[in-house]
Structure 1
Amino acid sequence: MPDPHSSDSEPRPTQAASRSLFSRLKALMRPAPPTDRQGIRAVLEAAHDHSILDGESYAMISGALEVADKTVADIMVSRSRMDLLDVTQPLSELMHSITETGHSRFPVYEGDRDNIIGVLLAKDLLLTLSDHALDIRALIRPPVFIPETKRLNELLHEFRVGHNHLAIVIDEHGGICGLVTMEDVLEQIVGDIEDEFDEADEKTIFRTGENSWRAMGMTEIDDFNEAFHVDIPDEDYDTLNGWLAAQLGHIPRRAERFESHGLAITVVSADSKCARWLHIQRMTDQSQEPAPQHG
């Protein structure tokens, strides 16, 4: 006679079935991981909003994601703004051009500006200044040409592997349309990299109407206070963008509006790291003229 207390009379769920149920419950309780970049950005934004990521970390990670979506055409220095050296110029004229611009690398052309024959490193030239009979052709390094459609993550890899820091950008017809440097690519991740040659007194506030202005997010708080006769605290923030991010609680987004000190501040242009351009409108009847900026 079967034992009524036998375990066979009432089958129990197997261990595998229990694990399966537990897995299903976990899936219901925990949201699925992101499957695309948009999902990753949403997770990062939530982490930043909840102070899990600070502003700098959030900006760098977001910048790294954006590098894969951008091409050289998005960040290159246009052809009209390229500082080139003429290989036929006397050494004294070349040195004047180098010291005036302050660059460390220069595309070198011969005859026509579209005929780029190489790249000259300023340090190579400085090491040979004692040779008055120097022909700079001996110092010119082979140029690197890339299409304007190349993605920035691919370019960064090529820069690292090839130990290059500058590339000449060409369009679909083979014509030169600009140049790009490793610093340009890195700035997309870490933000602006300033050096001793960057202008410290660049004008950042511009009048656009009788009672409106546009300002760069990088505007120093001290300059903004002086221009608009306000007293935004500058103990914790250096720039208008840093102060605005603190007031909003997140990196300023395009079209966001914030009112303070009798001013309406609207974000006109922004990326994942900061506000680039802001529109300033005075809300009171006091239409004081912002003090002129030097530079």
Structure 2
Amino acid sequence: MADPHPERASRSHAEREDKRSLFQKLVEFINPGPDSTDELIETLAEAEDNEVINAESRIMLEGVLRLADMTAGDAMVAAPRMDLLDIDAPYEELLREVITTAHSRFPVFQGERENVIGILLAKDLLKLQRAPDLNIRTLLRPVVFVPESKGLNDLLRTFRINRNHLAIVVDEFGRTAGLITIEDVLEQIVGEIEDEFDIDADEGDIFALADNTWRVAGDTPLERVNESFNVQLGTPTDSDLDVDFDTIGGLIAHEMGHVPKRGERLQLGGLDFYVLHTKGGAVRWFKVSPAGAFE
């Protein structure tokens, strides 16, 4: 049977749809919602102050908002710092580079570093060990090229749809500007993503490796390094330093005269320090061996 009062039914439905109180409506009228990213971020800060959200949630939400204004060029690893593999290099050299840098994916070039011809997964390199006659070209995955101006929102969507984890960034002239991974994009939202190199200092900072070398954290106290390797780095008997250094990373940076980059090497006190991993402008890990061991 038809409702004898359709107007009342319609009004009742509308009241159920809008459950805001008169006070809430008045507040919204007087103080309209934020109309810019900066205002929205301020609103998130107020929400944290009012314990509506916690600090971790605010940081992630801010990361999502800022992501919309960022491009691949903002988050990429610059070309000079890229770890690449030469397709014409011997298998032993390729394997040593993979083990040393500990990445899971590598751009592969032929001739010049600018000429990236494919992406090699580290696990695929093991197939060459079982079948030495296998052509490495057959193991390469297609390269994804993106412009520096590509928005990180769009890039993240591309990574998800195509199931890619790495892209080569090119500048306006088509030259290689750097590379970017899905981890680089996600870190803009959640902060640094810890990996197998990111071990808490409480768990140790000097680790013996199978090839009779050691992995040493950049923030390892000099005193501990000296005791472990029976050396006297950073002491008056070692050099004429006029500055005291607390960590091995600080000492190495001073000796090099610049912030160390991945792949750089320095011999000091009878030890060879190879920069294995950097993050945030500082060395996270060195690979240490007796001087001359790999010459």
Which structure's relative contact order is higher, taking Cα pairs within 8 Å and 6+ residues apart? 1
* Contact 2:63–2:189 (Cα < 8 Å) also in 1: yes
Tell me which amino acid in the other structure corresponds to 2:117.
I
Partner of 2:187: 187
CA distance in 2, matches of 1:99, 1:204: 22
CA distance in 2, matches of 1:204, 1:43: 41
1:28 to 26, 29, 51: 26
State the 1:73 CA deviation. Answer: 1.1
Secondary structure of the residue aligned to 2:26 is helix
CA distance in 2, matches of 1:77, 1:204: 26
State the 1:43 CA deviation. Answer: 1.4
* Contact 2:128–2:136 (Cα < 8 Å) also in 1: no
Tell me which amino acid in the other structure corresponds to 1:67.
L
Change (3 A) 1:133 1:179: same
Tell me which amino acid in the other structure corresponds to 2:179.
L
| TM norm structure 1 | 0.60
Partner of 1:172: 172
CA deviation vs aligned residue, 1:181-236 (integer Å, no higher than 9, x gap) = 0000001111111211347623499xxxx99x9xxxxxxxxxxxxxxxxxxxxxxx
CA distance in 1, matches of 2:38, 2:118: 41
Partner of 1:66: 66
Secondary structure of the residue aligned to 2:132 is coil
Partner of 1:10: none
State the 1:166 CA deviation. Answer: 0.4
State the 1:24 CA deviation. Answer: 8.1
Tell me which amino acid in the other structure corresponds to 1:60.
M
State the 1:118 CA deviation. Answer: 0.6
Partner of 1:202: 218
Runs of 4+ in 1 over 6 A off after TM superposition: 22-25
CA distance in 1, matches of 2:130, 2:78: 35
Secondary structure of the residue aligned to 1:112 is coil
Secondary structure of the residue aligned to 1:117 is strand
Correspondence list, 1:87-236, <5 A? 87-198=87-198, 201-203=217-219
Secondary structure of the residue aligned to 2:130 is coil
CA distance in 2, matches of 1:151, 1:47: 28
CA distance in 1, matches of 2:25, 2:49: 24
CA distance in 1, matches of 2:39, 2:162: 33
- Structure 1: which 5+ runs fail to align? 1-14, 214-275, 278-293
State the 1:38 CA deviation. Answer: 2.4
| TM norm structure 2 | 0.60
Change (3 A) 1:136 1:69: same
Partner of 2:249: none
Between the aligned residues of both structures, percent identity stands at 47
Superposed CA RMSD in Å reads 3.2
CA distance in 2, matches of 1:66, 1:204: 34
Tell me which amino acid in the other structure corresponds to 2:26.
L
CA deviation vs aligned residue, 1:62-114 (integer Å, no higher than 9, x gap) = 11111111111111100100000000011111001100000000000001110
CA distance in 1, matches of 2:220, 2:88: 38
Q: How many residues align?
A: 196
- Structure 2: which 5+ runs fail to align? 1-10, 200-204, 206-216, 222-241, 246-279, 287-295
CA distance in 2, matches of 1:36, 1:53: 20
Tell me which amino acid in the other structure corresponds to 2:218.
E
CA distance in 1, matches of 2:111, 2:143: 16
